[in-house]
Structure 1
Amino acid sequence: MEQLRALEKLALQRVAKETDMRKANEAKAQYLLQVQQQPQESDAQARQAELRKMHEVDAARIRAEYEAELKQLQEKCEREQAKSVQAVKEQEEKIRRFQVAQDQLHHLAHARSQPVTAPVPVEVPKITPQVRDASDPLADQVAQLVQIVQQLQSNQSHIASTETVHRTDNSQKIAQDGRTSVKPRSTIPTKTDGRKTRTVKSGGKGDDGYDSDSSSSSDSTQDELEGQFSTASQPKQIDSGTGTRVLVQAMIPHDALEKFDERAALEDRVNWWERFMYYATMAPWDETTRIAQLRMRLTGALKDWCAQLPDNTRSDWKIFSHVFKKE
Structure 2
Amino acid sequence: MSPNQCQWVRQPLPSGPPTSIAFAADCLQSQVFFNRGATEGLVFAIPVGQGPHPLLWKVDFTTSTAKPVDLKGLPGADGKQGLHAPSVVSVGFDAQGAVVALISDEYQDRKPEKDAQGSFLLFEGKRYPVPPPEFPEDEGWPGLALAYRWEAGGWKRVEIKGTRYRAANAPELNALEINASLVVQQAPSSDISSEEQAPKSVAKKLDATVKKVAPGMWMYVPTPNGILYYRAVREGEDDYFASAPIRWDKGGKLVELAGLGATPGNQLAFQLQQGLLLIRVKGETQLAEVFDSRSKQKLISVKDVRLSRLWPLPAKP
Report the TM-score, using the length of structure 1 for normalisation. Answer: 0.21
Structure number with greater Rg is 1
Report the TM-score, using the length of structure 2 for normalisation. Answer: 0.21
Q: Which has the higher helix share?
A: 1
Q: Which has the higher strand share?
A: 2
Choose between structure 1 and 2 for higher RCO, CA contacts under 8 A separated by at least 6 residues. Answer: 1
